[in-house]
Structure 1
């Protein structure tokens, strides 16, 4: 390897560490890739933020985005996004919620009873 490529490799490894100040995700905060995030109104004006955190708030100010979408739009590693989101959530700058669950299949017997009831009512 050349010195230049060594420097690029170190830059790729160090930058995420620097963005999170070496912190890991707190144990009480768990963000799955499908956790939905939105910025609190006025969050961008509330304080001085690191550029990465500001970008996340800008992305989330228009509505809910999933954690994986935020990582994709920012180009940041998923682990870094999770740590930054934990900081933003702790500061009250974002709201998070679990994604809307996929609808479960309705019980066939229940559907048949409803259909039969409608048939007798409107027949």
Structure 2
């Protein structure tokens, strides 16, 4: 979690996850949105999970944003988030899907209608 300028982190990512390599929630994507549930934090949580809850305290973040703030690989953050989701301390929702492509014909008709109103 703590890094050196221009070098490797002082704490390897696998230590922040307790040696766990795979998340308990494989569907957790890079753009999944994480939100802390709030309430009392249970005692005995690892420092990395406490840090994740801390960054989520002010609102919601995507997995990749939280990973960047904590200076962890996305894979490690997915493990941490999955454990917090299992403990009902964090909620996750799927990423917002990209908007469908607009219909150029519809835009042309709207523009033609607006020009007709102008005259």
Residue matched to 1:36: 33
Q: Mark the CA change 1:52 to 1:26 in structure 2 (over 3 Å): closer, same or farther.
A: closer
The corresponding residue for 1:6 is none
Q: Distance in 2 between matches of 1:73 and 1:26?
A: 19
Aligned partner of 2:4 in structure 1 is none
The answer (yes or no) to whether the contact 1:71–1:81 under 8 Å persists in 2 is yes
Alpha carbon RMSD of aligned pairs, Å? 2.6
Aligned to 1:68: 64
State the alpha-carbon separation in 1 of the partners of residues 42 and 102 from structure 2.
48
Number of equivalences: 110
Q: Which runs of 4+ in 1 moved over 6 A?
A: none
Q: Map 1:1-123; keep pairs closer than 5 Å.
A: 15-26=12-23, 28-42=25-39, 45-48=40-43, 49-118=45-114
1:102 Cα offset (Å): 3.3
Query: 1:71 Cα shift?
Result: 1.4
Q: Which has the higher helix share?
A: 1
SS in 2 for 1:38: strand
Tell me the secondary structure at the aligned position of residue 106 of structure 1. Answer: coil
Gaps of 5+ in 2: 1-7
- SS across alignment from 1:46: coil
Structure 1 length normalisation: TM-score?
Answer: 0.70
Higher Cα Rg, which structure = 1
